[in-house]
A and B are shown apart, each in its own frame.
Chain A
Amino acid sequence: MNKITCECGHVNPEGTVLCEACGKPIEGNQHINGNQPNKLLNMRYDGSARRSQTYNKTFVDKIWNFFSSVKVGVWLIALTLIASAIGTIFPQEANNQSPLPANQYYEQNYGIAGKIYYQLGFHDLYGSWWYMILVASIGISLVIASLDRFVPLYRALKKQKPKRHETFLKRQRIFGQAEQATEEDKKALVQGLKKQRYKVYEQDGHILAEKGRFARWGPYVNHIGLIIFLIGTLLRFVPAMYIDESMWVREGETKQIPGTDRQYYIKNEDFFVETYDKDDPRYQEAIKEQGGSVVKNYQTNAVLYERTDEALPGSEPELKKIKEGAIQVNRPIKVDRFALYQTTYQLDEFKTMTFKLHEKEDSEEKELDTFTVDLVDPKSEYNLDNGIRVKVDSYFPEFEMQNGEPTSVSKYPKNPAFVFNIFTPENPDKPEVSFVGIGANLDPSGENQYKVGLKDFETRDVTGLTITKDLTLPILGLGGLIFMIGVIQGMYWNHRRIWIHPHDEGVWIAGHTNKNWFGIKRDLEKIVDGTNVPMVTDQNELKE
């Protein structure tokens, strides 16, 4: 609880290692930075008091101090890294492309290891509670550790005085004594410092020359960037900020765009896949090497509509056309803040089928009449020439035999099959039954006079689109930018300080930098050049 008054008169906060003003090591606190007598001083945070290490009274303080520790922060980052690495061993749930639910998939494919993997939540790593807590803890640690260091360091650098304690100077890594230096030499040194673009402060003949102090704030700027980035990722949980949906649209179909609250609709006019021309001499070789064809373009020609009424869901909305254009891979169509991307497709889904009726015994299969069935919404009856009536008894869009019964496994016409009842004028009450599907044409009774054969069909393509809206991108961008500024600030500049201390007849010179010791020594070489002051020594090198 006691403030420490240094012999220079400066009052330091508790826990100070080196006096903020003169740098004298404060007795009884040297263990905090691991300083040993007569060894070089640990200049971390300029020996300022990190409060976290001193106040530890309440529960809040204990939590605070836990997160303030750099050691804890490093551990959190290491654990997150290890967990992320483990998360790549088996595929993530979102990408495993399996119809099996996760609780079966991992055990079936990877045995006991897979089961553990699933139970610990590695299958959906970013969504598992402990992973989220780890990342959140890193965020909290960033904020607290930065605050706890920024404030005292700021104080220490603000309050430093040019006049330093001799112990402080002697125990700097760069140190030199020039007992014979004259006033002229001192002036020359100051001139040299200024020439090297140092800011020079003087106090009673003591000199502090400093440059690049702002590099010290680099890590904190960097942390601010990270925190903004984390806030951005947090905002992705807000639906108004972030939407990621997908949809299928068939050619000719108009559908509401999911995630837009029934506001926007899209019509798929046309979907196509283009390939590179095999006969073009420019591509021939590459295509041959690749084998098969090489796709040049996937494109949906789309029309966007906006709903203009408040119609109830389910009823036909009133739509106003707002936009028309192509959606290509990486070239989305945009509306409001939504972007629709081309993601996937299905070619050649059946759309209509045209059947012809002929006499069964006719080997030439001369058509009596034809009829076309819309596979999405077939009519129940088709009236043909000669008074013949075809009734659709059953329609199976995606036909499959299940337990001996014909069924459909979906509503999509992927494998259409029909049971037709053919009513002839001669036999108006007793229809002929025939079953027609892809590659199948059955006459269950064996007594049919007429036969229905597939004459032609039309297909259409289905486009798969992804709808995204991401208002967090500017925030993520800003966070990233500030992060990079912080990195540059901290990495490409160094905080260099040189102290000149009058001693007896001459001067002592000491220097400190947070990095690039070679740089500060080169500065000093230029500064002492042409004076009687000998070059300083690097006490770290002397030791070895």
Chain B
Amino acid sequence: MANKTNKKKKRLIFRSVMLTIMLAAVAFALYSNFTKDKKDILQVGEEAPNFKLETINVEGKETLTLDYFEGKGVMLNFWADYCPPCKEEMPYMQQLYPEYKKKGVEILAVNLDQGELVVENFIETHDLTFPIVQDKSGQVMELYDVGSLPATYFIGPEGEIEHKVIGALTLDKIEGYLQEIKPES
């Protein structure tokens, strides 16, 4: 009789193990499928990866790296002048910039390789004073997984991504997010 219960137990263990392995495989497939689009995308809470880009309107500096702003909150905005909502939010950013720069928050706008002429003209017409860099090879755009424009990351003083916004921002919203990434002092 002992032999029999033993066998039964063995069978139950075998069946449970087999089912668990197969269910795990199915769960893996389902999970991978549903996170497929998100897998490479930077998630809120992750550290914002560093990069180095040529500047357009920063005097005395040819290139800028993200870690240059260490300890400050950074609003990282990806834009192009052929994108109407990008053009809309630029004046709001400019409006808030001087005040928040004093509070330790930087605004960094990454242009998607439009040639300096176009960008310079744009800066001139809109009187932009926050630093603007150009992503000529599109590498940073890929790194930050920017698909549609505008795309904005709000990075905290510790360097972690606190918010990601795709699409146009209003003045109030920008201000709200800037408040959140302001370093405490």
Residue ranges of A at the interface with B (Cβ–Cβ < 8 Å): 1, 51, 55, 58, 60-61, 63-64, 127, 129, 132-133, 136, 139-140, 143-144, 147, 231, 234, 237-239, 255-256, 258, 262, 311-315, 376-380, 392-395, 397-398, 407-411
- Contact assessment for B121 and A393 in the assembled complex, using a CB-CB cutoff below 8 Å: yes
Interchain CA distance A136-B53 in the complex, whole Å:
47
Judge whether B26 and A60 touch: CB under 8 Å.
no
**Closest CB-CB distance, B102 to chain A, in whole Å?**
28
* B117 on interface, CB distance cutoff 8 Å: yes
Q: Cβ of B116 < 8 Å from any Cβ of A?
A: yes
CB neighbours (8 Å) of B25 from chain A are: 136, 231, 234
- Known A-B contacts A55-B11, A313-B139, A411-B82; A143 and B53 likewise in contact (beta carbons under 8 Å): no
A139 adjacent to B22 (CB under 8 Å): yes
Q: Which residue of B lies closest to A239 (CB)?
A: B39
Q: Can you offer 19 A-B residue contacts whose CB atoms are under 8 A?
A: A51-B11, A136-B22, A136-B26, A139-B22, A234-B25, A237-B33, A313-B51, A313-B52, A313-B142, A314-B52, A314-B53, A315-B53, A379-B117, A380-B116, A397-B82, A407-B82, A411-B113, A411-B114, A411-B118
> What's the Cα separation between A315 and B62 when bound, in Å?
11
Q: Taking CB as reference atom, which chain B residue is nearest A140?
A: B22
**Is A136 a contact of B29 with CB atoms below 8 Å?**
yes
Partner of B49, one of A61, A238, A313, A411: A313
A64/B33 in contact, CB under 8 A: no
CA distance A62 to B158 in the complex (A): 53
Residues of B within 8 Å of A411, CB to CB, are 80, 82, 112-115, 118
Candidate in A64, A144, A398, A407 with the most chain B CB atoms within 10 angstroms: A64
Does A398 contact B29, Cβ atoms closer than 8 Å?
no
B interface: dominant SS: helix
| B118 close to A129 (CB less than 8 A) | no
Inside 8 A of A238's CB, which chain B residues have their CB? 32
A312 touches B115 (CB 8 A): no
A377 to B120, CA, bound (A): 12
Is the beta-carbon distance between A61 and B15 smaller than 8 angstroms? yes
- Cβ–Cβ contact A395 & B115, under 8 A: yes
In the complex, what distance in Å separates the CA atom of A237 from the CA atom of B29?
7
In Å, the complex CA distance between A525 and B81 comes to: 90
Contacting residues, chain B, for A392 (C-beta < 8 A): 117
Q: How distant is B86 from chain A, measured CB to nearest CB, in Å?
A: 12
- A64 CB contacts on chain B under 8 angstroms: 15, 19
CB pair B52–A408 under 8 Å, yes or no, is no
Q: Is the CB of B82 within 8 A of A410?
A: yes
Q: Which residue of B lies closest to A410 (CB)?
A: B82
Known A64-B19, A312-B52: A133·B82 in contact at CB below 8 Å: no
**What chain A residues lie within 8 Å of B143 (beta carbons)?**
313-314
Closest CB in chain B relative to A270 CB, distance in Å? 21
Q: Chain A residues near B121 (CB, 8 Å)?
A: 393-395
CA separation between A395 and B115, bound complex, in Å? 10
Interface residues of B in 1-38 (CB under 8 A from A): 4, 8, 11-12, 15-16, 18-19, 22, 25-26, 28-30, 32-34, 36
With A392-B117, A395-B117, A411-B112 already in contact, the answer to whether A314 and B36 are too (CB < 8 A) is: no
Q: A55-B11, A312-B52, A313-B51 are in contact. Are A395 and B29 (CB under 8 A)?
A: no
Tell me if B179 is interfacial: C-beta within 8 Å of chain A: no
User: Is B109 on the interface with A (CB-CB < 8 A)?
Assistant: no
Query: Which residues of chain A are near B118, meaning CB under 8 Å?
Result: 395, 397, 408, 411
> B137 contacts A256, CB within 8 Å?
yes
Q: B50 at the A/B interface (Cβ < 8 Å)?
A: yes
Beyond the given A64-B19, A143-B18, A313-B139, please list 7 additional residue pairs across the A-B interface where CB-CB is below 8 A: A55-B8, A133-B26, A311-B52, A313-B143, A377-B116, A392-B117, A408-B118
Residues of A within 8 A of B81 (CB): 408
User: A237–B113 contact, CB under 8 A?
Assistant: no
Which of A237, A258, A379 is close to B32, meaning CB atoms less than 8 Å apart?
A237
